[in-house]
Amino acid sequence: MPEFDNATDAPRATGGRAPDVFRVGGWVPMRQYRDDEVVDFAIVGTGAGGGTLACKLAEYGFSVVALDAGPYWRPLEDFASDEHHQAKLYWTDERIVDGDNPLQLGSNNSGKSVGGSTVHFAMVSLRFRPEWFKARTLLGYGVDWPLDWREMWTYYSEVEQALKISGPVTYPWGPHRPRYPYRPHELNAAALVLAKGAEALGIRWTPTPLATLSAPRGLAHPCVYRGMCVIGCATNAKQSVLVTWLPRALAAGAEIRDLAMVGTVEHSPAGLATGVRYFRDGRWRFQKARNVVVAGYAIETPRLLLNSASSRFPDGLANSSGLVGKNLMVQANQAVWGLMEQEIRAYKGPPSLAITEHWNYDDAGKDFFGGYCYMSQGPLPVVWSGTQSGKRGLWGQALLDEMQQYNHQVGLKIVGECLPQERNRVTLTEERDQYGLPVPRVTYSYCDNDQRLIRHSLRFMREALEVVDARQIWDETDDTCHLNGTARMGSDPKDSVVNADCRSWDMRNLWICDGSVFPTVGGVNPSLTIQAIACRTADRIRQLAARGEL
Amino acid sequence: MKERALTRPHADAARQLNLSSALLALSVLTDSGVEHYRGSFQNRVMYVPLGVAALTLGAGVFGMAQPRLRRHAARDSIYAVAAATGAAGFLFHAYNISKRPGGMSWLNLFYAAPIGAPIALTLAGLLGKGAEVARGHSIGRLAAAVSAVGLAGTAAEAALMHFRGAYHNPAMALPVSVPPVAATLLGAAVCAPGPRIGRLARWWLKFTALLGFAGVGFHAYGVSRNMGGWRNWSQNVLNGPPLPAPPSFTGLAIAGLAALRLMDEEAHTDRGVRR
Amino acid sequence: MTDRYPGYDVLAKRDSPSWNEQTRQVIDERLAVRADSHRFFTDEEWPTIVAVCARIIPQPQQPDQPVPLAAMVDLKLFENSGDGYRDSRLPCLREAWRRALRALDAESHKAGRVRFHQLPVAGQDDLLQAVQDGRSNDPAWGDMPPPVFFSKRLLHDIVSAYYSHPRAWNEIGFGGPAAPRGYVRMDFDRHDPWEAAEARPGLEEQARRHNARIR
């Protein structure tokens, strides 16, 4: 039995090597840079944005150091089948939440791992509806993206190939897309309930395109349907950034620094980024870089930019528009639950094996802007008990009796589009965390359109359960997912933080490449889009470098 | 079909058909055993193919070993039952697929009851019947045709399952390329018999027979490749690539070879008679 | 509450392919928590938290040792393990609990001139219901809204402790740890031999026999 060196105690990516996530106790060589060596790119965060970008830039020949506050997990060895223990994957540092609809963070949407939130995500890998990239012009709400859907379509293909997405042979919605590299997974009973309900209501459904393997790939094993995806995949079937982009990044000469919390981005008197100040192995350090990419996801990214305020930039970096931290968007994650006569045992298999995007593509009869998809669910015991108690209000014998129905439980849950609102934002408080950095405050309130979308979805999903004879149906109204928008991209520096290339308007060598750059959020899970944007950004950086415009 | 007396090579070829039927029956017995166990024998009728395959296997072994080379009524009926059971199984499987959400969709073809699998039992019955009939009639060309169709159909089933596995390993292309060539050559030998075609067909059939055995090895590698390997056998033998399936190619290839022998013998004897 | 999965014990699979080494270590630690251990709550506070846990998750008396909920909550507070966010209306984790326990005792003094744990069980339930419904208003709560504490802290911490314990998994028929061995049969009314059999009416003995054989 290899010695368990605890990933959270001391950095693992040191001494010229990084963990080989595919081999128990194995290592891969890792190129290392000295702090005083000026690397081409210092990337803060190794998730869907930062990890993908680190890989692509390293493969294009740039020198890259990617820093992550989280540990460098070895999924085959470090992951236990236990919800409480696996909370180690989440961002559990303190954050304050307020607003009309205070958000749940932590396990709900925030990861702290090398590989970011993709280490615990539910692997749903969907493309944007093309019209959403021009939401204002074509659909009359939100704002337009400065990106063309046709360009994004090819980047989606690149990401789907890189992750060997397991998806249906043909996809029911949207323009033609190439066949998913791997075939879809078998449906569990919870997914079959969604399928039957959809057929009864006359709408299309599909097995969900998932970033988990339905066949072997290299040294990674196919899914064993253990159903613990959101607490960490212990088989490497889940194609997280940790087991896809990062091994490629290492092979291409990138350095990954785990347990490295970046506190500020420093800049020269001339107003150009010079590198990042970070805490690792007991002390503060400084990595010099020609370019800095901030990819900490929608709370840590604005937090870092605001905390990097200086006399020259009193409102934080890249913030001449005043929009850093603003327009925080989540996605509605409401659900409808019920009980079936048959045993469902939804804890088996990935949580969302079937999905319908009907209400993303059909606008008939909607009293709201935007769209939503809904998918089947398979909550594990602790999170399910939280839903029944904290959200539904059950306790005592009533809770125990209801929990006994666990194996007959079914549910449908949406990922719904919430509109950008400037009042929803990330700001800094006076409290300090364990690094001495200001604790962020996350303020969120729904708007009327959000509420109408939610009501529509609850009505429809209720019908979708009634029609398959589910009983004791109830609505879970207090849930959101994902985080986007706090450093949005646009074509006008007065109205956005970065341009279409994810380059900040204010500082030519400061880039932002994660979910913060979304101007609207759409009705699909964001991970595929974030990775596609990162691939595009890498291509643009290569072009700009070749033209001497970097 | 012409009545004829039995020469030695003719008898051996007939016995070889018994062998091929037995191999197919063994494959069906173990494969449907594992798969229907995986299906929790939810419908009582799922026990039937196990019993019928076992009887067919016994009949085949008996047919190979028996010194007197005569038709046997019991074997005859068993083979007839096997053919019918396979056909019924096909209908059951088709129903199982079509009643799930999505009906005849790729998803259900991948994961519901495998549509082509019961036909292996029908083939075992038909080839076994052929072994019996060969003891007194000329059925070489018919046996060759059945074998060719069987090889093509089994290749199609493998193609479907390997498509589900996304052809993640290049070796998965072998069972969808080699047997169809053998089937084509066998078909050509039926339509336009000749020594060169015969040699080529034999070669490909022997290759196919070997491939059937190699397939078990490949599938065993596939089982060990899954999470937990052989230690997790209670999941991986069920979820992983089916170990008993590839030898059906061996059975069909042996039937094809037997059919070629019969065709040769029948032609030879015909020429002898005419002379 | 009927025994829906008679004889089912996820611990029987401890040495099977369903558990890996890391899981064994983690669950062993959880099972080693002693019911009377408290390093955060004071001796004064202890009876209150024990009583609250017993009302939120009423556990039957012997023969089995009950799940040591109060000790598990105490451990969480001793380690100060947060969830990564705090509702702005609540003080931090430790302060919230201390204040709440004081407030519960204050409320019960108003009601029956005794401390919370000395109230009859029905009185304890009534008081907790009042907290959940927002009818509690003793100044001891301070600026912390009782219903918010109840749903986001009290229920969250106690209930999650219970359902993280193998005994709760047995009760609800959860498959338990599952790595490297996951599941094969995922269709309606189907389960793998290593999963719990449900005791449908008339089939209790069959279920019990199945569950006894699980490896």
Does the pLDDT at position B221 exceed 90?
yes
pLDDT confidence band for B68 (50 / 70 / 90): low
Task: Provide the b/e sequence for A226-265 (b: ≥16 CB within 10 Å).
Answer: bbbbbbbbbbbbbbbbbbbbbbbbbebbbbbbbbbbbbbb
Query: Are the C-beta atoms of residues C93 and C131 closer than 8 Å to each other?
Result: no
Q: How far apart are the first and last CA of chain A?
A: 49
pLDDT attached to residue B67: 65
- Cα Dmax for chain A: 70
Asked if the C-beta of C134 comes within 8 angstroms of chain B's C-beta atoms, the answer is: no
The DSSP secondary structure of B25-81, one letter per residue, reads HHHHHHHHHHHHHHTTT-SGGGGHHHHHHHHHHHHHHHHHH-SS----HHHHHHHHH
Give me the mean pLDDT over the A4-31 stretch. Answer: 94
pLDDT confidence band for B6 (50 / 70 / 90): confident
Give me the mean pLDDT over the A486-493 stretch. Answer: 98
Average pLDDT, chain B: 93
Give me the mean pLDDT over the A452-463 stretch. Answer: 98
Q: Are C184 and B231 within 8 A, CB to CB?
A: no
Give me the mean pLDDT over the A441-445 stretch. Answer: 98
Give me the mean pLDDT over the B200-221 stretch. Answer: 97
**Cross-chain CB nearest to A97 (options C4, C85, C159):** C85
pLDDT digits 0-9 by tens, A264-292: 999 999 999 999 999 999 999 999 999 99
With CA atoms as reference, the chain B residue closest to C185 would be: B38
Mutate to test the interface with A, among C186, C189, C210 (most CBs of A within 10 A): C186
Q: Are B38 and C193 within 8 A, CB to CB?
A: no
Which residues 161-190 in chain C show a CB within 8 A of chain B? 179-185, 190
Q: Are B164 and A183 within 8 A, CB to CB?
A: yes
Both tokens of residue B180? 């169809």
pLDDT confidence band for B66 (50 / 70 / 90): confident
pLDDT digits 0-9 by tens, A79-117: 999 999 999 999 999 999 999 999 999 999 999 999 999
Rounded to a whole number of angstroms, the distance from the CA of B234 to the nearest CA of chain C is 8
pLDDT attached to residue A1: 34
Give me the mean pLDDT over the B79-94 stretch. Answer: 97
In this structure, how many other beta carbons lie within 10 angstroms of the beta carbon of residue A286?
14
Rounded to a whole number of angstroms, the distance from the CA of A216 to the nearest CA of chain B is 7
CA distance A144 to A136: 5
Specify the long-range contacts of residues A318-321, CB closer than 8 Å, at least 24 apart: A318/A487, A318/A497, A318/A498, A318/A504, A318/A505, A318/A506, A318/A507, A318/A510, A318/A512, A319/A497, A319/A506, A320/A493, A320/A505, A320/A506, A321/A493, A321/A494, A321/A495, A321/A496, A321/A497, A321/A505
pLDDT attached to residue B5: 63
Does the pLDDT at position B71 exceed 90?
no
Model ipTM over 0.90: yes
**Cross-chain CB nearest to C188 (options A227, A342, A395):** A342
Does the pLDDT at position B1 exceed 70?
no
pLDDT attached to residue A2: 38
Give me the mean pLDDT over the A362-391 stretch. Answer: 97
CATH-assigned architecture of domain A17-546: 3-Layer(bba) Sandwich (3.50)
Rounded to a whole number of angstroms, the distance from the CA of A30 to the nearest CA of chain C is 27
Q: Are B227 and A221 within 8 A, CB to CB?
A: yes
pLDDT confidence band for B275 (50 / 70 / 90): very low
pLDDT attached to residue B193: 87
Give me the mean pLDDT over the A223-246 stretch. Answer: 98
With CA atoms as reference, the chain B residue closest to A179 would be: B166
Average pLDDT, chain A: 97
Residue percentage of chain A with pLDDT more than 90: 99
Mutate to test the interface with A, among B107, B160, B223, B225 (most CBs of A within 10 A): B107
Which residues 227-256 in chain B show a CB within 8 A of chain C? 227-228, 231-232, 234-235, 238-239
pLDDT attached to residue B272: 67
Question: Where do the domains of chain B lie?
Answer: 8-274
Does the pLDDT at position A4 exceed 60?
no
Query: Are the C-beta atoms of residues C56 and C73 closer than 8 Å to each other?
Result: no
What is the pLDDT tens value at each position of chain C, 215 positions in all?
Answer: 678 999 999 999 999 999 999 999 999 999 999 999 999 999 999 999 999 999 999 998 655 789 999 999 999 999 999 899 999 999 999 999 999 999 999 999 998 899 999 999 999 999 999 999 999 999 999 999 999 999 999 999 999 999 999 999 999 999 999 999 999 999 999 999 999 999 999 999 999 999 999 98
Chain B positions in Cβ-Cβ contact with residue A160 (cut-off 8 Å): none
Give me the mean pLDDT over the B23-38 stretch. Answer: 97
Let me know how many helices (H) and strands (E) chain A has, helices first: 11, 20
Q: Are A97 and C87 within 8 A, CB to CB?
A: yes
pLDDT attached to residue B73: 86
Give me the mean pLDDT over the A440-457 stretch. Answer: 98
Question: Where do the domains of chain A lie?
Answer: 17-546
Chain A positions in Cβ-Cβ contact with residue C134 (cut-off 8 Å): none
Does the pLDDT at position B270 exceed 80?
no
